[in-house]
Amino acid sequence: MAMLAPTLPEPALSARPSSVVLEFSRQQPLGAASLVIIVVMMFAGIFSDLVAPYDPLQIDFAAILAAPSGDHWFGTDAYGRDILSRIIYGSRTALVIGFTSSFVGSVLGAILGIASAYFGGKIDDWIQRFMDILLAFPIIVLALVVVAALKAAILFGIDINLIVAIAIPIVPRVCRVVRAAALTIRVMPYVDAARAAGYSDSRIIFRHMAPNVVAPFLIMFTAFIAQAILLEASLSFLGLGVTEPTPAWGLMLSGNAADFYREAPWMILFPGAAISLAVFAFNLFGDSLRDYLDPRFKT
Amino acid sequence: MLRYTINRTLMMIPTLLGVAVLVFFMLRVVPGDVVEVKLRGDGGNVSQETIEMERQRLGLDKPLKNQFADWMVGMVKLDFGKSMWTERPVTEEIAIRLELSLQVAIMATIFAVLLAIPLGTTAALMRGTMVDYIVRVLTIGGLSIPSFWFGMLIMMFLLGLFNWLPPITFTPIYVDPVANLTQLIWPALAVGYRYCAVVARMIRSSLLEVLNEDYIRTARAKGVFEKLVISRHALRNALLPAITVIGVEFAFLIGGLVVTEQVFNLNGIGKLFVQSVSHNDFTLIQGMVMLLAAIYVVVNLVVDLLYAVFDPRIRYS
């Protein structure tokens, strides 16, 4: 699999930020387009209060199930809440959970992967054995088991345990890829040199090896933001993720939304389109990033 | 080959044991169990005494290591215990639903593989062209569209166009094939799209890799027809990694039905899993996790053995 054998990052990474973006857009037009979608989404998520036309929680009995119109671009739901506003606020929920859980999972996976490759032997065996166990769970099943085990713990309006539940299935997948990349770095002369110089294990891992697995790490991190958003939406759809009244895309499709296939199709069309677009953008961006960072795939 | 098979089979045991330990203790680290959901779920006022009695009846008051030992001993005898919610044997609860889920998974696999091979091959052969771009967007779309939303769109489409919705009650294929297929083809499509996308991407990238190999150049240089180069030399080798993906995705599909079954109101494994999670039904969750993990390791075993059959280098290393 292409993603399993990433190579070292190009020097382009260390160039000036603006020229990196330009070079990336030139080489990967699809990636640039996805980056635009991501930036728009982040903007909507950060400035929801300014962008959203309505309060996402405001119930308006005068406008129950209103069709899309000038007043409500995407229509309203069964409580008369504005769907566009809920989608805009939902992007905040999706991004916060997507970013943090992918970050937690990827960082943990990367550290375990590098440690596994660096120490080798028994430690490597044990870590890999444990990862194999985690991999035997289908992603959503593992997340659901963690949800069942931990229950909700709200901090700053976000369910921390939901983030943990989404992060855990990411760990073994990142661990595998980073371990493979780290194995090739472990045999590099500079790692031997660092060890000969008497540096501590943690210094070699964090200062010498970690920077050199940045490319596969970044690729995995972006790809798993997509997965995390999708997983959050699925859990919320099942009623086991984000809970009312927090606006979340998956939640907007759950419960009785399906009763309105005929009367209010906009209730289903727009939130689902928002999930798809967000996940699509991150997937495409991760894909383009891989092609960009991995010279072997250049045309 | 026999030694390889035996070794590989024995390697399943520690993984499954690890899964058992992990799921058992994970469910019990934080307080809260089925008794609370059952008796206090609706905000009912139940005395602590009643709760303790119910716990005792279900064996939840015993020390953890005894509970675990009981469960393990039972599993060796293929007794997975009783659901703490319905009080029916876990195996029975699963058995009545497995047929439906398995059929959807198999139908989705057939659909996905049949579509993925031509899609992935064309994209690789026409790399960098418009066709490649379209396939790329279509496949990333498959990875991005949530299967439950895709299912809802299918339902809306059926309702809008034919004024018809698939029935909720399950008809086995041997009772009425037409009714069965018209019911299950839609969920199979909904989950199959993603599956197809994953496999097509795999075929594309591994075919691209194989096409760079020396033996392809050799075949072309000695004048083999391009069609034969692709079908005999390239595709045959490129399909090997695809087998892994097909296997892993199949194993995960049964878990992936968790959301899709909800949309189509199908009473399958996925729906049962969601119910057991929201009820905190430990024994049922454990039993289903073991089943899904077992499917995963067995499928992996089969994939590895297939690999060894197709690629002698693995067998002898």
Kindly report the three-state secondary structure assignment for every residue of A220-233: HHHHHHHHHHHHHH
Local confidence band at A168 (pLDDT 50, 70, 90 cut-offs): very high
User: Looking at residue B316, what is its pLDDT?
Assistant: 59
How far is the C-alpha of B304 from the C-alpha of B314, rounded, in Å?
Answer: 9
Phi-psi region of A264 (alpha: psi -120 to 50; beta: other; left: phi over 0): beta
Residue pair B311/B240 in contact (Cβ under 8 Å)? The answer is yes
Does residue A275 register a pLDDT over 90? yes
User: Looking at residue A229, what is its pLDDT?
Assistant: 94
Tell me the nearest-neighbour CA distance from A291 into chain B, angstroms.
12
State whether A230 and B144 contact (CB < 8 Å): yes
Handedness of CA B162, B164, B165, B166 (dihedral sign): negative
State whether A133 and B22 contact (CB < 8 Å): yes
Q: Nearest CA to B189 among B240, B125, B263?
A: B263
- CA distances in angstroms from A159 to A42, B44, B93, listed in the order given: 20, 26, 32
State whether A138 and B156 contact (CB < 8 Å): no
pLDDT tens per residue across span A49-81? 888 788 887 777 777 777 787 777 788 877 778
**C-alpha gyration radius of chain A:** 22
Which stretches does DSSP call E strand in chain B?
A: none
Tell me the nearest-neighbour CA distance from B16 into chain A, angstroms.
7
pLDDT tens per residue across span B73-128? 888 887 888 887 787 888 888 888 888 888 999 999 999 999 999 999 999 988 88
How far is the C-alpha of B193 from the C-alpha of B212, rounded, in Å?
Answer: 29
Q: Which helix (H) or strand (E) holds A158?
A: strand A158-159
Phi-psi region of B87 (alpha: psi -120 to 50; beta: other; left: phi over 0): left
Tell me the nearest-neighbour CA distance from A276 into chain B, angstroms.
5
Average pLDDT over residues A154-170: 84
pLDDT tens per residue across span B33-45? 777 777 766 666 6
Q: State the pTM of this model.
A: 0.87
Residue pair B216/B228 in contact (Cβ under 8 Å)? The answer is no
Q: Alpha helices, DSSP H only, in chain A?
A: 17-27, 29-46, 48-51, 83-119, 121-135, 139-150, 160-167, 170-186, 189-196, 201-203, 214-237, 249-252, 266-293
How far is the C-alpha of B114 from the C-alpha of B188, rounded, in Å?
Answer: 13
Q: Which residue in the set A149, A237, A287 is minimally distant from B29, CB to CB?
A: A149
Residue pair B285/B277 in contact (Cβ under 8 Å)? The answer is yes
For the question of an ipTM over 0.90, the answer is no
